[in-house]
């Protein structure tokens, strides 16, 4: 995030150091051994467990919880990681309250599900903390696959391909791997460098080479990769940010929420990150909530999140909405931005209230702001890509694109729901399809 020096009201160091450390500490402290056993004991171990169906990566949840309950957490970790190699991160950021835990029989019966996400974290953290990697590579196949993007989809695909014996080269535009996990998730969800620690652990499978600062179109082209490799998997995410489309959008202090979140994730000292006194976040997804909550945690006095539809239409989960409200974020719905006012720097933002059909009501709202974060969606960037569908790469089963030998997954591909866990599933499944194709066993 580049903050103009003449933007009034935007300063760093609003809080003392102890407060920063408390504000950005782990959102969900991990379970201890006894707590994990108590939580695991609540599972009914359903034979037709609806929680498995609700998990995008199809983890055998009753099995891994039984393994924890019987004192074999390492076996539980392998059960999880065999389906979701980034199970540690997903245990932290996956909206379990909308997926596996919502489907839990205990939730239906008592309104209190088994703590599936926290139990998953307990198992995977214990294994990864010791540096152990439970998987080994198969005999080398002599095949090589290029992956564009070192985010959840790319890394999941790369790990599965390496495990199957292929050589993998991963190209990423940023200086560090991890993608969304490293640059796009609220700091308090993954403190203490967990994202990089998980990547380092994942790479212990061997056979994966990372190439940093290599952007599609600038440093590498799809055509070159097709010539040099037996297969290509595109997982570069969405690099562009949608514009507000309002007058005054170019004023100082109007910034992209993803850049703000990335700066926080890479900051060694939270006190050095500037934040406004009056902050407005425009959007209704997880990025918007993460930006709003973190602005508040940095010391902003007033933070307002404005979304064009009702709260029931927000992409951010009800848990995330409630978290924002609990931190003091005001949520305004059914309002769209029409103008950003100010003399050089933003002073306030004008909105018009709309009805459910997005038709303007004529009723206006002006919010004072010295910092505005745009979080209204991202767009795919790049030339020479496979056929697109709705602004993303069109894929069929197994992540196949319109080009032979080219697969895609994660946020850049159509059909997903922009979740880390979904990206992991798409990367894993594409790897299996790539493997079958390269080995001549594809149907």
Report d(CA 137, CA 121) in Å as an integer: 25
Number of residues written out for the chain: 443
Contact in structure between 129 and 216 (CB atoms under 8 Å): no
323 vs 296: CA distance, rounded Å: 12
Q: What is the pLDDT of residues 157-189, one digit of tens each?
A: 999 999 999 999 999 999 999 999 999 999 999
Judged against a pLDDT cut of 60, whether residue 2 lies above it is answered with no
Distance CA 384, CA 440 (A): 27
| Percent of the chain surpassing pLDDT 90 | 93
How confident is the model over 57-79, as a mean pLDDT?
97
- Percent of the chain with pLDDT strictly greater than 70: 98
| Domain ranges across the chain | 33-129, 144-239+380-438, 241-377
Q: For domain 33-129, which architecture applies?
A: Orthogonal Bundle (1.10)
Mean pLDDT, range 219-223, rounded to an integer = 96
For 67, 104, 230, the CA distances from 26, given in Å and listed in that order, are 26, 25, 42
pLDDT at residue 9 greater than cutoff 90? no
Average pLDDT over residues 3-20: 81
The β-bridge relationship of strands 360-368 and 388-389 is unpaired
Nearest CA among 424, 31, 21, 36 for reference residue 191: 21
- In whole angstroms, how far apart are CA 87 and each of 64, 120, 356? 12, 7, 38
Residue 358 pLDDT exceeds 90: yes
Confidence bin at 442 (pLDDT 50/70/90): confident
Per residue in 304-343, pLDDT tens?
Answer: 999 999 999 999 999 999 999 999 999 999 999 999 999 9
Provide the pLDDT for residue 6. Answer: 54
- CATH for the stretch 144-239+380-438: 3.50.50.60
Same topology, domains 144-239+380-438 and 241-377? Answer is yes
pLDDT higher than 50, residue 119: yes
Do 295 and 275 contact (CB within 8 A), yes or no?
A: yes
Looking at every residue in the chain, the average pLDDT score rounds to 95
Mean pLDDT of 87-105: 96
What does the pLDDT read at residue 8? 75
Distances (CA, A) of 312 to 171, 188, 213, 360, 411: 38, 25, 39, 19, 23
pLDDT for position 5: 46
SS3 labels along the chain: CCCCCCCCCCECCCCCHHHHHHHCCCCCCCCCHHHHHHHHCCCCCCCCCHHHHHCCCCCCHHHHHHHHHCCCHHHHHHHHHHHCCCHHHHHHHCCCCCCHHHHCHHHHHHCCCCCHHHHHHHHHHHHHHCCCCCCCCCCCCCCEEEEECCCHHHHHHHHHHHHCCCEEEEECCCCCCCCHHHHCCCHHHCCCCHHHHHHHHHHHHCCEEEECCCCECCCECHHHHHHHCCEEEECCCCCEECCCCCECCCCECEEEHHHHHHHHHHCCCHHHCCECCEEEEECCCHHHHHHHHHHHHCCCCEEEEECCCCHHHCCCCHHHHHHHHHCCCEEECCEEEEEEECCCECCEEEEEEECCCCCEEEEEEEEECCEEEECCCEECCCCCCCCEECCEECCCHHHECCCCCEEECHHHECCCCCCHHHHHHHHHHHHHHHHHHHCCCCC
Contact between residue 234 and residue 385 where contact means Cβ atoms under 8 Å apart: yes
Residue, of 152 and 383, whose pLDDT is higher: 152
Residue with tokens 């600038």: 218
Cα–Cα distance for residue pair 92/189, rounded to 1 Å = 6
Quote the tokens at residue 334: 């059914």
**Beta strands 240-241 and 371-374: pairing type?**
unpaired
* Confidence tier at 418 by pLDDT (50, 70, 90): confident
Is CATH 3.50.50.60 what the domain over 241-377 is classified as, yes or no? Answer: yes
CB distance 344 to 248 below 8 Å: no
pLDDT at 196: 97
């Amino acid at each position: 995030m580049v903050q103009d020096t003449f933007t009034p009201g935007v300063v760093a160091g609003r809080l003392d150091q102890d407060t920063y450390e408390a504000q950005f500490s782990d959102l969900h402290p991990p379970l201890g051994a006894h707590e994990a056993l108590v939580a695991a004991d609540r599972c009914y171990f359903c034979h037709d467990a609806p929680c498995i169906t609700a998990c995008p990566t199809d983890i055998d949840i009753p099995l891994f919880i039984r393994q924890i309950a019987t004192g074999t957490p390492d076996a539980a970790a392998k059960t999880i990681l065999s389906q979701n190699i980034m199970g540690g991160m997903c245990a932290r950021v996956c909206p379990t309250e909308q997926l596996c835990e919502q489907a839990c029989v205990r939730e239906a019966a008592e309104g209190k599900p088994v703590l599936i996400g926290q139990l998953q974290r307990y198992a995977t953290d214990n294994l990864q903390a010791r540096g152990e990697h439970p998987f080994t590579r198969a005999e080398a196949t002599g095949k090589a696959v290029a992956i564009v993007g070192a985010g959840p989809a790319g890394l999941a695909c790369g790990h599965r391909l390496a495990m199957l014996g292929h050589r993998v080269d991963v190209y990423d535009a940023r200086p560090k791997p991890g993608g969304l996990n490293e640059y796009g998730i609220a700091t308090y969800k993954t403190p203490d460098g967990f994202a990089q620690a998980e990547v380092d652990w994942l790479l212990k499978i061997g056979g994966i080479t990372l190439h940093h600062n290599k952007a599609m179109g600038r440093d590498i082209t799809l055509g070159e990769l097709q010539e040099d490799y037996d297969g290509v998997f595109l997982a570069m995410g969405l690099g562009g940010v949608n514009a507000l489309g309002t007058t005054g959008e170019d004023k100082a202090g109007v910034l992209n929420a993803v850049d703000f979140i990335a700066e926080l994730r890479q900051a060694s000292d939270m006190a050095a990150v500037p934040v406004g006194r009056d902050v407005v976040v425009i959007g209704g997804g997880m990025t918007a909530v993460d930006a709003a909550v973190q602005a508040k945690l940095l010391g902003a006095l007033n933070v307002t999140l404005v979304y064009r539809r009702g709260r029931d239409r927000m992409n951010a989960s009800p848990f995330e909405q409630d978290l924002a409200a609990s931190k003091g974020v005001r949520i305004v719905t059914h309002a769209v931005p029409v103008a950003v006012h100010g003399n050089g720097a933003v002073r306030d933002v004008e909105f018009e209230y709309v009805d459910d059909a997005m038709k303007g009501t004529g009723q206006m709202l002006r919010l004072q702001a010295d910092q505005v974060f745009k979080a209204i969606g991202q767009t795919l960037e790049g030339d020479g890509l496979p056929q697109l569908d709705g602004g993303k790469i069109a894929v069929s089963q197994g992540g196949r694109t319109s080009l032979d030998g080219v697969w895609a997954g994660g946020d850049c591909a159509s059909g997903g729901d922009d979740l880390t866990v979904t990206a992991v599933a798409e990367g894993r499944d594409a790897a299996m399809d790539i493997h079958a194709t390269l080995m001549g066993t594809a149907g």
